[in-house]
Amino acid sequence: MPVQALFKPFHLGALELPTRVVMAPMTRSFSPGGVPNSKVIEYYRRRAAAGVGLIITEGTTVGHIASNGYPNVPQFFGDAPLAGWKKVVDAVHAEGGKIVPQLWHVGSVRRLGTEPDASVPGYGPSEKLKDGQVVVHGMTKQDIQDVIAAFAQAAKDAQSIGMDGVEIHGAHGYLIDQFFWEGSNQRTDEYGGSLANRSRFAIELIQAVRAAVGEGFPIIFRFSQWKQQDYTARLVQTPEALGEFLKPLSAAGVDIFHCSTRRFWEPEFDGSDLNLAGWTRKLTGKPTITVGSVGLDGEFLQFMVNTDKVAQPASLENLLERLNKEEFDLVAVGRALLVDPDWAQKVREGREQDILPFSREALMTLV
């Protein structure tokens, strides 16, 4: 199967990508003080130089007191972090690539003791107490407005430093997804109840981001059925329900949907081979990004624990067939790119035998 489909340009309004290869957002925790440094700049530059069309950065926290959940993750607010990101943007652009930040709020995943202010608990749709102590602060309507404003400001800052768009992280059991998910959203106001109500926070947030950046600045929205807390979770069970969920998000201002799955080849619903990205494109008419164990023979969950397992490069034939059939438009590559910055170039040149295998050790360094 010829690999040319991966290396055709992609155009959407002002966004012109040299290839269909996207670098998936992957938390790396190499930004002490929340500031991307020279190692981070070089990490992204190398991928752009080797033919990644669009880089989606690791999750970057928006300017809200509870947005962060992990040590050494980069911020997307404040003079020093934004100056660091500007250097990343310039380095990627110099290599002919495009880049968007993934804007992130971890919500109730945050634990007391986490930087930058150890006294701040997680924020979520519903309050959670443990031993009489608030471990998750149930968000007031003012809190909701504050978080929406933080995302809008981050998007505006992304535009001002030359980013090519933004991705809003609405997946994997973090804050926006916590509102979607009935298991974590027990609210009785207009932000809880039906899935349409549970989507209200995301819709208002997307609308605010669109208002902040104007028309023509791409907004990518990442969503998932599965959650970190439950890999078998399903937000919706049918294509019809998926359409009802996605159409208001699309109308609010999403240009591209990033459809997070663990294995891109798995059908989303019975009776069709289409994966989540395929169904999303069909239902919304918007371009989609597929993702999930691209180019590797083992999916990522095996590496979330201490293990000596190694994921070897895998055939791209199924992926290329689907891309040629226009089931989806762009292909996000995670661990294969994390371990081998030259992955795209090696694929393009037919040097699959030179692609590096992925092991847990790769997470320990930036290459």
Cβ atoms of 100 and 22 within 8 Å: the answer is no
What is the rounded distance in angstroms from the CA atom of residue 123 to the CA atom of residue 278? 33
- State the catalytic residues: 174
Neighbours of 315 (CB within 10 A): 11
Between the alpha carbon of residue 251 and those of residues 25, 58, 206, 254, 330, the distances in Å are 24, 26, 10, 7, 21
Neighbours of 155 (CB within 10 A): 29
What is the rounded distance in angstroms from the CA atom of residue 277 to the CA atom of residue 327? 7
Residue carrying structure tokens 């950046």: 213
Cβ atoms of 94 and 50 within 8 Å: the answer is no
Between the alpha carbon of residue 260 and those of residues 29, 113, 158, 222, 305, the distances in Å are 21, 30, 23, 7, 21
Q: Which contiguous run of DSSP H or E holds residue 359?
A: strand 358-359
Count H helices and E strands in the chain, helices first.
11, 15
* CB-based contacts of 91, cutoff 8 Å, min separation 6: 41, 42, 44, 45, 48
